[in-house]
Amino acid sequence: MATRPTVRSTGDFVLVNNSPVVGTMTPFSTNAAAPTQAFIDCFGRCPTTPEYNPICASNRQLYLNEQKFNCARFCGADIRIVRRGSCEGLFPMQRG
């Protein structure tokens, strides 16, 4: 699914797959549901390496590496890669 940005006069941009996209639309999902127990169990059983090669995903989650990202997708997360690297600077930080 392609992101269709709307140009803002301020020239703000976000990165989608490490390419700048000007506009008001963000590639981040803001209505992601809390993970189910089935997802948590599936994700916990998914074999991965401890390699640190972070993936910033459209659900505002930072995955340790592409294997972890792919596990999340395999377990049912409807996500895509927004940036290969940190999510830093892509969205406002939220305190939990």
Give yes or no for residue 18 having a pLDDT over 60: no
CATH number of the domain that residue 64 is part of = 3.30.60
d(CA 21, CA 61): 20
The larger pLDDT score, comparing residue 88 to residue 26, is at 88
Residue 75 included in any domain? yes
d(CA 66, CA 19): 18
The larger pLDDT score, comparing residue 9 to residue 28, is at 28
Nearest Cα neighbor of 25 from 16, 37, 35 is: 16
The larger pLDDT score, comparing residue 30 to residue 59, is at 59
d(CA 73, CA 63): 11
Quote the pLDDT of residue 92.
72
Indicate the pTM of the whole model.
0.62
How many domains is the chain built from? 1
Give yes or no for residue 57 having a pLDDT over 60: yes
DSSP label of 23:
S
Domain range spanning residue 73? 28-84
Residue 37 included in any domain? yes
